[in-house]
Amino acid sequence: MYLYHFDMNKIPFGHTPDTGLFYQSKTHVEALNTLLFSVSSGEAFCKIIGEVGCGKTMLCRILINQLENSRKLAYIPNPDLSPRSLRYALAKELGLRVKADCRDDQLSNSIQNRLIKINKTSGPVVLIIDEAQAISDEGLETLRLFTNLETEQQKLLQIVLFAQPELDKKLNQTNLRQLNQRITFSYRLKKLSASQIMHYVNHRLSQVSNSNRVSISQSASWLLKYFSTGTPRLVNTLCHKALLLAFAKKQSQISIINIIKAASDTDGVSRWPLKYFKSAITLFLLGLSTTAYAFWGQ
């Protein structure tokens, strides 16, 4: 592995959401501020929408880290559950022991009583749900009903949804209009620009490097933008492969060639730059041959 060669203490471009490597891009900072304001103002629902690989889970972890010392949190990473299973998942996160044959009304009452008890000491519980686009319509309605639980001053449960754009399509259905109207704050993550990608890559390299033995060229970061379309997860994949290639060649910089070779071996990346380069080379050679023919034909 390249860690020793580049004097790094850990892999800079892994797919695990390492909060120690969090890059504060404009879009991620705006999303985090939206989340924190929504939670602090007591809103029932807040959602963050982003395409696959845009950093939703990383934001989720950052939010948990910022709230865990002041609020009681419940976290459901896989909400593809029936309404009853969703209640059980919430009950478990609240520390309740519920029998399998417990009736739905008993389960709901137990959750309500626990929420009231928690509210007296630490305020409303914040329920964070990742991959929320997987929640069924019935599950979403169950969540809406939970947000009806409140004191005279505040909600007993606040819900934060992290989801792909499919959730917005689902919420636009007529049968979910009541829930959709309760989402006061929403933010859609944007993809990274070429300059942001360069800062993103250099930030991660600086966080793991003991001696800054490797960097990325500006032209390579431009290529990263077009191959990855600005998606952080794809940037990570391409940079990890590019570092392996740089290590094999004993290079100290991620070059254009490294990125092109990494892209040719990666699924899901944009392919048009390769076609563009090939077309440009073809046109150059055609123009060269035409000029030569005209010159020698005289």
Instruction: Write the CATH number for 94.
Output: 3.40.50.300
Instruction: Write the CATH number for 228.
Output: 1.10.8
Residue 242 lies in a domain: yes
Give yes or no: residues 178 and 45 share one domain: yes
277 pLDDT band, cuts 50/70/90, is low
Q: What DSSP string describes 5-55?
A: TTTBSS-TT-SS--GGG----HHHHHHHHHHHHHHHTT-SEEEEE--TTSS
Residue 87 lies in a domain: yes
Residue 286 has pLDDT above 60, yes or no: no
Q: Which amino acid is at 9?
A: N
Supply the pLDDT for residue 93: 95
Domain stop point among 126, 156, 188: 188
C-alpha–C-alpha distance, residues 45 and 36, integer Å: 12
272 pLDDT band, cuts 50/70/90, is low
Give yes or no: residues 101 and 221 share one domain: no
| Domain count of the fold of the chain | 2
CB-CB contact of 21 with 158 (8 Å): no
SS3 at position 214: coil
Give tens-digit pLDDT for 225-267.
989 999 999 999 999 999 999 888 888 888 889 899 999 889 8
Q: Which pair of structure tokens corresponds to residue 90?
A: 């919430």
Domain stop point among 160, 188, 216: 188
C-alpha–C-alpha distance, residues 140 and 123, integer Å: 23
CB-CB contact of 147 with 108 (8 Å): no
Give yes or no: residues 229 and 87 share one domain: no
What is the span of the domain harbouring residue 165?
Answer: 26-188
CB-CB contact of 81 with 89 (8 Å): yes
Supply the pLDDT for residue 119: 93
Residue 12 lies in a domain: no
284 pLDDT band, cuts 50/70/90, is very low
C-alpha–C-alpha distance, residues 166 and 173, integer Å: 12
Give tens-digit pLDDT for 178-207.
999 999 999 999 999 999 999 999 999 999
What average pLDDT does the segment 279-294 reach?
A: 48
293 pLDDT band, cuts 50/70/90, is very low
